[in-house]
Structure 1
């Protein structure tokens, strides 16, 4: 009932008009189904999402699937029963969640796949460009280690985002593999993106290659933490390692010199973008009319979806001031334990 009223009120309004008229969003409730809220970054995303919705007068309700497909399905049923007007989902498994997506769409509830793509017709995709994340990681490692034995510690095999990151990495390193400059000596998926799993995978690879590793493409900062722990145990701390997200611990590792790069994703901004898209769709704005909307058809099924995609930022020791200036991290946290060879941001 309230959705139809809002749709008639919003007919013909642009996205910018929507954002300048928060009263029109005052009757909107947005649901968010988190795959596993324990991850550091989702708390930051939620702060941006909640703030963006509150500024428009909308309400956010959330549920945490705690790394369970069954729990996520139950959570989504619960959010739909509460009468949400739009549903954002961070999928634990992008295929397993599809029946829940179908139920939401059948009820006329707009569905937004948040960061982790759900490749299904009618689902809007909101994310930081995952292919560019992979490019950033590989570019920076190749700059400092253009030749040698590389390991790839990939993300979760059930998360399409991890596959996109790998695509970006390979765009950069495949020509160097083909000409013999780089050799991949180990490559493993990391179930659930869990750092302990990444550490075990890295330890097994180190054993298999007698610790002969020159660089590691770790797909996010959590897996990078596991990788660095494994490398440290065999005296290899300091070889090039990549990551993504801009986790506090990862930025500190960059300052310390045990991680080379993170593809920083200001999750506060993605949260705000998710809020804008959810409010617009719930208010009847056509997906293709959302400001900045593009067609995303890079998935394995080739499904064309409307999407809003933000650009990640390369962060290395040379520009750590960027995250300081953005109030993403305190200087105390960034520079904890840094003594010799401090980056400029820690001087």
Structure 2
């Protein structure tokens, strides 16, 4: 009986040793698996975004670039950006360059709404998702459109001008005809002002385009009208740069600040003009929100192959494109601190110094 008991103890010890050995082996295998998984995860290259910009001429685009890069970095993404200087051929070559750099998604600000199709086709041939940022590309296979509500931008401008000048001679200084936002803004202000135009309360002195958004056109339009002896009661300029051109022409006739002028983009010089009374109003478009939303969409597209939910779609002639809009905000001397300064878009010192 004692021998049997000794054998049992020996067997028990052997089993314990075997159990320990097996446990160590299992732990070792699991540790190797976890280490291998972490190593692979660490070695996996970050998502690379190609940001094909159209221009950096206006101040706002520097904010777009900064905020988009910042938002991407927070997610661990990389951004490779280019600037086409409003040239379709240049943008086509730059998209080729971005694709050669191995981007995972293309964000494009089309240099023209009808000239970006070929560049977008290059991306789609490589199964690269394409997001139109701020400007839409027509007749092209894009995955998403992220912008501000540009029709609302036009409405805001018109409503403000109507309060200032309910009747009289209006001038409409439109942006680049190759930028579809130009048409959308026009659609917005016409919805508000057409009834007054039809009743004869508002007379259109001029409605013309500024190619590539050049403020020199705006200056020339206003200078020629004033030289011809026309009385101008209100000016709607489709961005702050064009408003600046118009105000320069008014200043030469000592009319700056006497004729209401509205614009959009909330550029720092425009905010200064709003405070001083030279420009009646600007439309603030919260660029940081647009950049943050765009990066969220990038993450969904690349990681999950899906999009954020949206109720809105834009018919670009090729398909109904999922559209995401950020609301624009009217900025006057009365609310500039509660909007621009509060959002840290420009500081109080920058605007008021």
The alignment partner of 1:149 has SS state of strand
Match of 2:254 in 1: 235
Alignment CA distance shift 1:42-1:259 (3 Å) = same
2:66 equivalent to 1:47 = yes
2:142 equivalent to 1:122 = yes
Deviations 1:122-163 (A, max 9, x none): 341110110000000001010111110000000100000111
2:183 equivalent to 1:187 = no
CA contact (8 A) 1:35 1:91 kept: yes
Structure 2: runs of 5 or more not aligned: 1-41
1:206: Cα distance to partner?
3.0
CA contact (8 A) 2:213 2:242 kept: yes
Deviations 1:210-266 (A, max 9, x none): 131000010011111111111111222111111111100111110011111111001
Deviations 1:100-141 (A, max 9, x none): 111111211111111111122334111011000000000101
Larger relative contact order (C-alpha < 8 A, sep ≥ 6)? 1
The alignment partner of 2:172 has SS state of strand
Match of 1:107 in 2: 126
The normalised TM-score by structure 1 is: 0.85
Q: Structure 1: which 4+ aligned runs deviate by more than 4 Å?
A: none
Match of 1:269 in 2: 289
The alignment partner of 2:203 has SS state of strand
Match of 2:96 in 1: 77
Match of 1:316 in 2: 332
CA contact (8 A) 2:263 2:281 kept: yes
Alignment CA distance shift 1:183-1:292 (3 Å) = farther
* Number of matched pairs: 310
CA contact (8 A) 1:157 1:190 kept: yes
CA contact (8 A) 1:37 1:66 kept: yes
Larger Rg: 2
**1:95 and 1:202 mapped to 2: Cα distance?**
29
Larger % of helix: which?
Answer: 2
Structure 1: runs of 5 or more not aligned: 1-22, 337-347
1:324: Cα distance to partner?
1.3
Deviations 1:54-103 (A, max 9, x none): 11111111011122222111100000111101001111112111111111
**Aligned mate of 2:168, from 140, 145, 148:** 148
**Aligned mate of 2:298, from 278, 282, 286:** 278
1:302: Cα distance to partner?
8.1
**1:106 and 1:291 mapped to 2: Cα distance?**
24
CA contact (8 A) 1:141 1:215 kept: yes
Match of 1:335 in 2: 352
**1:218 and 1:191 mapped to 2: Cα distance?**
13
**2:45 and 2:300 mapped to 1: Cα distance?**
12
CA contact (8 A) 1:228 1:258 kept: yes
The alignment partner of 2:235 has SS state of strand
The alignment partner of 2:56 has SS state of coil
CA contact (8 A) 1:49 1:273 kept: no
The normalised TM-score by structure 2 is: 0.83
Greater alpha carbon shift after TM alignment, 150-159 vs 187-196: 187-196
Match of 1:248 in 2: 268
CA contact (8 A) 2:131 2:142 kept: no
CA contact (8 A) 2:121 2:141 kept: no
Greater alpha carbon shift after TM alignment, 78-87 vs 119-128: 119-128
1:332: Cα distance to partner?
2.4
CA contact (8 A) 2:120 2:142 kept: no
